[in-house]
Structure 1
Amino acid sequence: MHPILSDFRRFLLYIAACLLMGVGIARLLVAAELSTMSYALLFSLPLALLGGFLASSAYYVCRSLPIAHRRMVTAVLVFGSASLISGLSWLGICHGWNKVLFFLLEDGTELQITPHLSALFFLAGFALYVLALLAFDLYIAFDNMHEADRREAASRLLARDAELQVLRSQIDPHFLFNSLNSISALTAIDPTSARSMTIALADFFRQTLSIAEKEKISLNDEVRLCENFLAVEKIRFGKKLGNTFDISPDAGQALIPPMILQPLLENAIKHGIRNLPQGGIITVTIFRRDQWLHISVKNPVASEASNSAGNGLGLQNLRQRFAAIYGEQARVSWQQTANEFLLEMALPYEQDRPA
């Protein structure tokens, strides 16, 4: 749709600008002593509206020659021809409307359009159309930029949704299978534990589904998800699995991408705690410093590499995910010693606003 007609306020402003131009033409005619003010207004105001209508057609001329595929010679020919036609049309309308007023007015007043004045009317119509072409060309260029931004935003949204779907599918199937096997085994020997494990597993997956639709969640929500996950794993591993959460009071309301902490705990169990006969403690430390949220996850590992040792793909994916969300503002690093693995993250601090 034409940009002037697509917005009522814009349409009114355009009409007002045309009428203002008509008043300017009338003042020029009076100043040149070619007409009285009353006749000049009757002559110029309708002409200004018709001129504005002619100039608005420049939008379609610009649309017919997209900037990305435009050749200079073609553009000059098309734009020049359209401006020439507009100037001649404007000149013909001026002569025609002057004759109409002559027959309509009883006093027989008529504007004497000399060759010099005809040339001025032609040049005015020509110049007005050229300005309209430039203005609409600029408008289309900005509109294309905005459309590209909208498409990019839509692409990012689709990519984020796809990423979340992948995250949901990446929950270790072995975790689910092992949990179900543990529930099956506990049903016969410890029904209470089996019931507790079933409830914890259901809560974990219910919360996973609820946060998967969100772009960011509060740190408290992520911690609750991790607690449900650990509740299931502690029934499986018993006293072999321990954990501590050290979270500063001002960090709980921070906004973070969903499911960035739970996969780290899962890796800590899979590649660390499970391979240690005595088990170990996973330590999570989170605090705010200035405008940054610092998160670290530390867990013991076996001194000798096991068959379950990871290839670092999950950590690389985490780094790429942060790069997509935060650009260069986020940092992820990890290091492993003979008996310990430490992962550290630093994210821009964003406050969760209460509803």
Structure 2
Amino acid sequence: MNKYISLYWRCQLLGWGTVSIYWAYVVFSRDDYGYFFTLLNYVLDISIGILLTHGYRFIAIKLNWNSLSLRELFVRIVPSIIAMAVLYAFLVNLKFYFYWEWIGEWKWAGGNGLSLSESLTYWDPVLITGLRLMAIWILAYHLYHFYQREIDTARQNAELSIIAKQAQLDNLAVQLNPHFLFNSLNSIKSLVIEDPKTARRAIDLLSDILRSSLYEKDAALITIKDELGLVNDYIELEKVRFEERLNMTVHMDESLNNHQIPPLSIQLLVENAIKHGIDKRIQGGTIVLSIQQKKELLEIKVQNPGKILEKGSDNGIGLQNLSKRLLIQYNGEASLILKNESKDQVTATIQIPMCIK
């Protein structure tokens, strides 16, 4: 059993208790009810208010009025306010009648009783009071539930958006990891017959890469330091095949080591640079990796010799997925740009907000 009073009952007791203080003051100061009868009248006023409004709440829940549109709700609450105001006036006048007929005799023995017909003279002011009180209560009740419904809808939409976003990221990651694995295996395949010893070393390197990437694929972000560890292993793996044809230099501010980025993002740019740049040149070349902060953006650049074909160019599933991941994960505030920097130089640039909103 919940030991706390619900919000509904706290509002009921506090609201009607506050409203009834005025009537308690009137009967105490004007009608000289005394302490006991003033308290009794105060309790009865609270009870009448709660009885009527709680009855309305029961009907509204039973008929599911809180799920109606504003127009549908309006045609129900207007007659409800009138009906409840009439009931309020009837119960209050009935309270006055029995008070003077029965309870009043305890104070004024044989005193002047108030007939039922005389008590009807109170209908006009009491009815107006009932209309005002019931209208305020019903409007407050439905406005609260309308507000709650809007909050619930917004929360559900946010949860669905997060679920959809995570599903997209998971789907892209599932595609990206095999993409990386298959390209690495293709590199090793050419060494198996020609140089078994070197192939074994390459397999060891691939095992290390898979351990640090595939086993942690559920992580949404990874530090730049850890990502560079993966990149270095990958470069060593590819140098087994390319030897002196492949070189890489890194320019980076060491203070950015612990900044987090999507996993496999730098590695994929380096892989793309090797596949579409170094591998197509007999003399090979050097990949230049630059990581720096520019105002509120983290900028990652990978430059390699080569050229992007304007027509029929296919950047592959890797870059396409990375671009989608950045778009989703950073709400459109991150970008991936691949362009020809010069006649024989291609630059891939990732820009990521330093602070995730």
Fold match, TM over 0.5?
yes
Deviates more, 1:30-39 or 1:155-164: 30-39
Paired residue secondary structure (1:163): helix
Structure 1 residues 220, 29: CA separation in 2 closer, same or farther (over 3 Å shift)? farther
Q: Kindly report which structure 2 residues correspond to 1:113-124, keeping only aligned pairs within 5 A, or say none.
A: 114-124=119-129
Shift of 1:173: 4.7
Instruction: Give the corresponding residue for 1:148.
Output: 153
1:168 touches 1:208 (CA, 8 Å); kept in 2? Answer: no
Structure 1 residues 182, 324: CA separation in 2 closer, same or farther (over 3 Å shift)? closer
Paired residue secondary structure (1:347): strand
Q: For 1:55-74, what per-residue CA distance to the aligned partner results, in whole angstroms no more than 9, with x for missing partners?
A: 3545964952646x443xx5
Instruction: Give the corresponding residue for 1:201.
Output: 206
Paired residue secondary structure (2:106): coil
Instruction: Give the corresponding residue for 2:176.
Output: 171
2:337 touches 2:350 (CA, 8 Å); kept in 1? Answer: yes
Q: For 1:317-355, what per-residue CA distance to the aligned partner results, in whole angstroms no more than 9, with x for missing partners?
A: 54554443434543443321321111223322139xxxx
Instruction: Give the corresponding residue for 1:18.
Output: 16
77, 87, 90: which one aligns with 1:89: 87
1:26 touches 1:40 (CA, 8 Å); kept in 2? Answer: yes
Q: For 1:223-263, what per-residue CA distance to the aligned partner results, in whole angstroms no more than 9, with x for missing partners?
A: 33333433433334333332223221221222333343232
Instruction: Give the corresponding residue for 1:250.
Output: 255
334, 337, 354: which one aligns with 2:338: 334
Shift of 1:96: 4.7
Paired residue secondary structure (1:213): coil
Q: Kindly report which structure 2 residues correspond to 1:217-236, keeping only aligned pairs within 5 A, or say none.
A: 217-236=222-241
Tell me how large the CA RMSD over aligned residues is: 3.8
d(CA) in 1 for partners of 2:52, 2:89: 12
- Answering whether residue 306 of structure 2 is matched by residue 301 of structure 1, we say yes
2:303 touches 2:347 (CA, 8 Å); kept in 1? Answer: yes
Structure 1 residues 276, 252: CA separation in 2 closer, same or farther (over 3 Å shift)? same
Shift of 1:31: 4.2
d(CA) in 1 for partners of 2:266, 2:143: 48
- Answering whether residue 138 of structure 2 is matched by residue 133 of structure 1, we say yes
Paired residue secondary structure (1:107): helix
Residue type matched to 1:126 in 2? L
Residue type matched to 1:266 in 2? E
Structure 1 residues 265, 135: CA separation in 2 closer, same or farther (over 3 Å shift)? farther
Structure 1 residues 76, 8: CA separation in 2 closer, same or farther (over 3 Å shift)? closer
Instruction: Give the corresponding residue for 1:28.
Output: 26
Instruction: Give the corresponding residue for 1:48.
Output: 46
Deviates more, 1:99-108 or 1:320-329: 99-108
Structure 1 residues 138, 7: CA separation in 2 closer, same or farther (over 3 Å shift)? farther
Paired residue secondary structure (2:16): helix
Deviates more, 1:317-326 or 1:330-339: 317-326
d(CA) in 2 for partners of 1:180, 1:325: 29
Q: Normalising to structure 2: TM-score of the pair?
A: 0.78
Shift of 1:314: 5.6
Structure 1 residues 130, 226: CA separation in 2 closer, same or farther (over 3 Å shift)? farther
Structure 1 residues 267, 164: CA separation in 2 closer, same or farther (over 3 Å shift)? same
2:231 touches 2:267 (CA, 8 Å); kept in 1? Answer: yes
1:229 touches 1:262 (CA, 8 Å); kept in 2? Answer: yes
> Larger radius of gyration, structure 1 or 2?
2
d(CA) in 2 for partners of 1:13, 1:205: 60
- Answering whether residue 353 of structure 2 is matched by residue 348 of structure 1, we say yes
2:205 touches 2:237 (CA, 8 Å); kept in 1? Answer: yes
d(CA) in 2 for partners of 1:321, 1:175: 16
d(CA) in 1 for partners of 2:264, 2:53: 56
1:241 touches 1:280 (CA, 8 Å); kept in 2? Answer: yes
278, 282, 286: which one aligns with 1:277: 282
Deviates more, 1:165-174 or 1:97-106: 97-106
Q: Normalising to structure 1: TM-score of the pair?
A: 0.78
Instruction: Give the corresponding residue for 1:263.
Output: 268
Paired residue secondary structure (2:355): coil
